[in-house]
Structure 1
Amino acid sequence: MKRRLELNDQAGINVSRNFRSLVGEANGYENLTFGEKDCRNHIDKVRRLRLGTGDAEAIQKYFVRMQKQNSQFYYVMDVDDESRLRNVFWADARCRAAYEYFGEVISFDTTYLTNKYDMPFAPFVGVNHHGQSMLLGCALLSNENTETFTWLFKTWLECMHERSPNAIITDQDGAMKKAIEVVFPKARHRWCLWHLMKKIPEKFGRHSDYESIKTLLHDIVYDSFSKSDFMMKWENMIECYKLHDNEWLKGIFVERHRWVPAYVRDTFWAGMSTTQRSESMNSFFDGYVTSKTTLKQFVEQYDNALKDKIEKENIADFRSFNTVIACISHFGFEFQFQKAFTNAKFQEFQLEIASMMYCHACFNRLEGLDSIFSVTESKKLYDKMKDIVFMVLFNEKDFMLKCTCHLFEFKGILCRHILCVLKLIGKTDFVPSNYILARWRKDIKRRYTLIKCGFDNLAGKTELQRVDKACDAFYEFASTRINSEDDLVKVMNWIQNMKIELPCNETSPRIIEEDCSVQSQATILDPKLARSKGRPPSKRKTSKFDQIVKKKLAQKKTKKNNQNSKKTQGPEEGPCISRGQEIEYEVCYRSQLGDGIGTQESIQVNKEYSSRVNQQEQNNVWSGENGSVNTVAPFNPNQEHLGEENKERHHMKDQHNHHRDIS
């Protein structure tokens, strides 16, 4: 039966049909000693990466070349007993250095199938000081069992200098859960709330009271601000709809500390409640990877995608230092956050200030040195206004503030309820520095920005050039002049003296320096051919970007044919689609996928860009030599490398306008 399952899987028959055929042969489910889930587990176990001939050698050469350019580039290639490739993990020097600053919270997800080999892509994603997703290492896996995840987590932990994250968010995968308990025993493990809540229609869709249960579950999960509140609402729902025997509800209730917001908001999650960060990173790569991408091409496209991501962070840094967002109040602490926070995070703080109008604070009681205040907030729930009471604790001696909404603990930004209390007691001039998290500050110089990656072009980057020259010179000195322990002591003392003579302006934490272990250069064979789960690769759904470009090219071809057939009947009506416009579609689409999360800044930029494109398209209609109407795509100076044909069209348009003026 196992052999038949494997052969049918290679032929493209899914597990469900496979299992039903076995049930038919056995004359009923009761005559089988295993279930459909056991069949799926077996198929997953025997699957391996499917690569073309020479791909394993090509990716190995790529990793060796990247490590030669920067010794801190880290990679591991996991092979089986026959030296066939099973799993691949890598992280560049910038990712490793950035982990020192943004590694306390990690999102991990493997739902994305990247290329024609259908290999699960497993990115470790963090959040930078602008709230943007940041890649902190990634892997391509042969399967998704506990053994593979354990290997991956241990490899990643070794790459990150054995520093475990404080919190990690994944989907509801049992194999991940077991591996995290083994490798990260002290980390807070949370399940993706979106993945869990989307199962409600599947579990209760046939229930007679489905709509009522769905509404009540959303209210219990999202509007319970304390554990006792959640317990009371949950018990009332179970009793009201007689759901005592529902196994799914029993299971998620036992694990409520992994997903219910009221149970997890006391931990810092950088504002994340789902694995959307990982999935947005997958979408980001979707702009560079198609269904025909080989493994070697994928790794090279990984560099291109990462360069784009770094450029977006550099642009956000520039805007935070050169663009000032005006304050919306006269409170001193808003000016304090304006000077310290990045623009994206300051806008989130301003949202809390604006929401103070819906809150009313009053003194409740005194408990020792702690003053307890009650803050009533009017919130709109299901088109109705509802008053919710939050309790804020204030210790004037230590200037300690704490709210039952736990927004500061969860997101690192002071909530509207605490700000209302500060306004009530007249403490609006400033807040202590411990309430301005370093991870959101713009005035900290983080050293990972000075790390040279294998794909970096140092032209025009003066600061990066200085660091690179100094590192090269010191490496040569250390490798040729330090021949004993006494020499090492002299050099270390000299470095300490130079630190005093040349003081550092940065306040960021020190990066631990460790040498990346050199990988074995043994020959690695290509993996055995095996199918991945789901449809055959030939039927794999194309990405949204591929669909858009394909549609526009089809429209262009159709209109061109119509134009040729109607030359004698007058000009063609309606503008044709130029190559420059195809590039615009591509850039617009990638800009929407870039950060993954729809921040206010990114949404505004996209709106302004779209309106500018539309206006330019209206102004750029001109008559061709044959009397037809053409539309020249607006030229964007930031995309010079993309639009040679676009520039040629603009040159033609200028010549036409010149001749028209002469006439």
Structure 2
Amino acid sequence: MDSSSSRLDNEGEFDDDLTHQDDRQNDMGEKFEKSKDLMTFISDEELNDEEENVVLPVVLKDDEKVEEPKESMTFSSLDEVCSYYRKYAKQAGFGIAQRSSRKKKGIKGYVMLICTRGGAERPKTSDCSKPIPISNKTGCGARICANLCDDGTWFLSKVELMHNHSLSPGKARFFRSNKKISDAAKRRLELNDRAGIRLCKNFNSLVVESGGFENLSFGERDCRNYINKARELNLGKGGAQALCDYFRRMQKQNSGFYYVIDVDDDCRLRNVFWADARSRAAYDFFGDVITFDTTYLTNKYDMPFAPFVGVNHHGQSILLGAGLISREDTDTFVWLFKCWLECMNGQAPKAIMTDQDRAMKNAIAIGAINKCLYDSQTCEEYEENWKDLLEKYNLHDNAWLNGLYMDKTFWVPAYMKDTFWAGMSTTQRSESMNAFFDGYVHSRTTLKEFVDEYDNALRRMVESEARADFDSFNRTIPCISALQLEKQFQVVYTNAKFKEIHEQFVKMMSCNNALLKSEGAISTFEVVEYVAVGDHLIEKTFLVYFNENELEVKCTCAMFEVKGILCRHSLSVLRTKKVTTLPQRYVLDRWRKDIKREYSKVKSSYDAISDNPHAQIHDKVRNNLEELLSLTSLLSHLLAAKMCLVL
């Protein structure tokens, strides 16, 4: 803490000045953890989150009535003093805070409790563009002072009852000093949160049960804060050592398991990265394109989960390494990417997709910008549309848009059409990761448990891929057309990818093409596609270039270049040119089902348990017991049948 914070000076006395929230967080958080459920924050109105928070014990029940404080009133403990004045303040209609205290030989012997409108207001920020509500301090002199007696009891040495502002007993529940979530309410909130019930409904159930908002000693914001804290990913006691032991055990079981642990100067865990042997082997086949973002778990846990995600031959998400990081800054990301590249033998992906800035997403949702981005098939067309956009809305001097324009090659679709993305998008992959971990991670998951559950989820991923492999070889999706082109893909592509080709053949029926020009072996076609929008059709025009000598086709939509799937516009031209067999460059090995990929034979650390002698003995004993129980049950039925016959 700095000199402006409340602190104990050399004489053991607290400064009288009220302190800023940010400077007090560590100190007060420690006090709060020690006090647990017997303590509550004493501060100003709910709207003023930056006001001084002071922890004071709660002893009296909420339904007890108390008399006005008087000098010489005695109490058995300081807790009882604080609880009494808190109850009186709620009854009278004001909030309280601890102003100062003194200690003698390490024992607190004096305390002053004041009205939260006492003292002078201090500005919380110098940035006028980000105003923070203030509590309208009025210099109120209402307070009590309590002293410790030699026999351990406390008495009120000074009492000031007069306030220089109005009081509101009916709204006293909004003061932070009067808020407390009961143990039963906490349990209800956590259970409902685990069940996936949204916070608003979760809170409303408590409102209904209590008979109205006025009967609750907390608000929806308090519930949200509690749930957020309950969701934090805790390292837990001994968690760091358990995590290290886990990684060492995994590496011992399979030398291909890779992990790095980053600690700070005090040897406290800061970041971790790990990748199993199967993920490392799969990177050789699917490491050309990855997505990386920390959106999943970021808002649930203290340490954001940072997965490196690729896509396999079925279009399924596949984990290629993962990290848990302490913060999302440049140094941390540099550390994480270095670890990952070292793990993958320095082989960098050809393309990395990260989550776009949220402000950019909101802007793209605006119709004019959306049209400019996604209706521009070429870079030249985009440049013209962007220029028209700025002129139409007079945005030439908009610094934010100018910044976006400078980075256009990293996010504008027209500039990314020559990059293969394997059909990946950040939104789809993030949603896939959400579904991937659902059922394995909950609000009380510790860091060690998270890594264990990561392995469980990875097993499910491997099983899902194995099932898709089986289906692709044993189930055939029928062709929609009689074209040999479609049959060519049906024979070699996985079912998931053939479905995408199948969809393009269906949409090909909505396309009409016309020859624009022909120069030697190269023909240029205009393809008009009719797209249903609501109750009417709109026309979209694309250009397709076809080289008859090389059997090469290229469309301005660039679907093949980006997704690795031939588009309906190209298929329409190929049909017109009576092409029956495509060159192999259009049948990507990436989507084929008839290629043996060595990574599928690699055993991961989480599979090694089956090779453990103890595990084998356990499985053998269990199987023998099951057979014995089955025989015993059969023998019992036979004896019963025999008895019936005898009778």
1:147-546 pair list within 5 angstroms: 147-172=331-356, 196-199=360-363, 214-381=366-533, 383-427=535-579, 429-456=580-607
How many Å separate the matches in 2 of 1:243 and 1:20?
44
Contact persistence 1:270–1:410 (CA under 8 A) = yes
CA separation of 1:256/1:318 partners in 2, compared to 1, >3 Å: closer, same or farther? same
- State the identity %: 52
Once structures 1 and 2 are overlaid, which stretch shifts more, 75-84 or 269-278? 269-278
Distance 1:316 1:347 in 2: 13
Q: Which of 252, 256, 277 is the equivalent residue of 1:68?
A: 252
1:128 corresponding residue in structure 2: 312
> C-alpha deviations, 1:495-549, integer Å up to 9, x for none?
xxxxxxxxxxxxxxxxxxxxxxxxxxxxxxxxxxxxxxxxxxxxxxxxxxxxxxx
**2:248 counterpart letter in structure 1:** V
Kindly indicate which of the two structures has a greater share of residues assigned to strand.
Answer: 2
When residues 250 and 408 of structure 1 are mapped into structure 2, their CA distance, relative to the original with a 3 A threshold, is same
Conserved 8 A contact 1:171-1:195 = no
Q: Which runs of 5+ in 2 are unaligned?
A: 6-19, 30-40, 54-120, 133-231, 613-647
Query: What CA distance in whole angstroms lies between the structure 1 residues aligned with 2:577 and 2:348?
Result: 41
CA-CA distance at 1:151 after TM superposition: 0.4
Question: Which position in structure 1 is the counterpart of 2:621?
Answer: none
Matched, 1:137 2:321: yes
Preserved contact between residue 492 and residue 593 of structure 2 (Cα < 8 Å): yes
1:29 pairs, out of 98, 109, 126, with 126
Judge which range, 138-147 or 386-395, deviates more. Answer: 386-395
* Distance in 1 of aligned mates of 2:243 and 2:427: 28
Q: TM-score, normalised by structure 2?
A: 0.59
Partner Cα separation in structure 2 for residue 30 and residue 108 of structure 1: 34
Q: Which amino acid aligns with 2:241?
A: E
**Relative contact order, higher structure (CA 8 A, sep 6+):** 1
| Runs (5+) with no aligned partner, structure 1 | 37-47, 174-193, 202-213, 460-464, 469-663
- Alpha-carbon distance change, 258 to 424 in structure 1, aligned in 2, over 3 angstroms: same
Query: Residue 19 and residue 94 in structure 1: after superposition, are their counterparts in 2 closer, same or farther (change >3 A)?
Result: farther
Q: Distance in 2 between matches of 1:282 and 1:82?
A: 34
Which one-letter code corresponds to 1:141 in the other structure?
I
Residue-pair matches, total: 415
The structure where helix makes up a greater share of residues is 1
CA contact (8 A) 1:8 1:18 kept: no
Contact 2:566/2:586 (8 A) holds in 1:
yes
Alpha-carbon distance between aligned partners in 2 of 1:404 and 1:438, rounded to the nearest angstrom: 23
Cα shift at 1:226: 1.9
Residue deviations 1:160-208, cap 9 Å, x none?
Answer: 11100011111246xxxxxxxxxxxxxxxxxxxx87323567xxxxxxx
- Taking the aligned partners of 1:122 and 1:19, their CA distance within structure 2 comes to 35
Asked if 1 retains the 8 angstrom alpha-carbon contact of 2:516 and 2:525, the reply is: yes
* Contact 2:233–2:444, Cα closer than 8 Å, also in 1: no
Describe the SS at the equivalent of 2:529: strand
AA aligned to 1:370 is I
Q: Which residue in the other structure is 2:239 paired with?
A: 55
Distance 1:374 1:130 in 2: 32
Asked if 1 retains the 8 angstrom alpha-carbon contact of 2:234 and 2:447, the reply is: no
User: Is 1:360–1:377's contact at 8 Å kept on the other side of the alignment?
Assistant: yes
- Cα RMSD between the aligned structures? 3.3
Asked if 1 retains the 8 angstrom alpha-carbon contact of 2:302 and 2:326, the reply is no
1:35-63: CA deviation from partner (whole Å, max 9, x where unpaired) = 99xxxxxxxxxxx9962221000010001
Cα deviation digits, residues 128-171 of structure 1 (max 9, x gap): 11111111100000111100000000000000111000111112
In structure 2, C-alpha distance between the alignment counterparts of 1:196 and 1:273, rounded to whole Å: 16
Q: How big is the shift at 1:113? A: 2.6
**Other structure's SS at 1:119 match:** coil
Residues 201-258 of structure 1 deviation map (CA, whole Å, 9 limit, x = unaligned): 7xxxxxxxxxxxx222222222222222222222223222223343332222222222
- Structure 2 SS opposite 1:112: coil
Partners of 2:555 and 2:607 in 1: how far apart? 45
Amino acid at match of 1:441: R
8 Å CA contact 1:107–1:275 kept in 2: the answer is no
Q: Which amino acid aligns with 1:196?
A: M
In the aligned structure 1, how far is the partner of 2:299 from the partner of 2:237?
16
SS of structure 2 residue aligned to 1:366? strand
Deviation of residue 373 (structure 1)?
1.8
Would the aligned equivalents of 2:364 and 2:370 in 1 still touch at CA under 8 Å? no
**Kept in 2: contact 1:109–1:279 (CA 8 A):** no
* Native 8 Å contact 2:289 2:349 kept in 1: yes
For the residue of structure 2 that corresponds to 1:353, the secondary structure is helix
Q: Distance in 1 between matches of 2:393 and 2:272?
A: 49
Distance in 2 between the 1:72 and 1:305 partners?
19
Give distance in 2, aligned partners of 1:393 and 1:246.
39
Query: Which amino acid letter does the alignment assign opposite residue 94 of structure 1?
Result: R
User: Matches of 1:273 and 1:147 in 2, distance apart?
Assistant: 26
Compared CA separation, residues 124 and 360, structure 1 to 2 (3 A): same
Partner of 2:294: 110
**What code does the residue aligned with 2:584 have?**
S
Contact 1:115 1:293 in 2 (8 A): no
What is the CA deviation profile of residues 382-415 of structure 1, one whole-angstrom value per residue up to 9, with x for unaligned ones?
Answer: 6542222211112222222111110000000111
CA distance in 2, matches of 1:35, 1:91: 46
CA distance in 2, matches of 1:333, 1:320: 19
- Residue 81 of structure 1 is aligned with which of 253, 258, 265? 265
Q: C-alpha deviations, 1:562-585, integer Å up to 9, x for none?
A: xxxxxxxxxxxxxxxxxxxxxxxx
* Matched AA of 1:29: S
- Cα contact 2:296–2:433 (8 A) shared by 1: no
Q: Greater CA radius of gyration, 1 or 2?
A: 2
**Deviation of the 1:361 alpha carbon:** 1.5
Structure 2 distance, partners of 1:97, 1:366, is 47
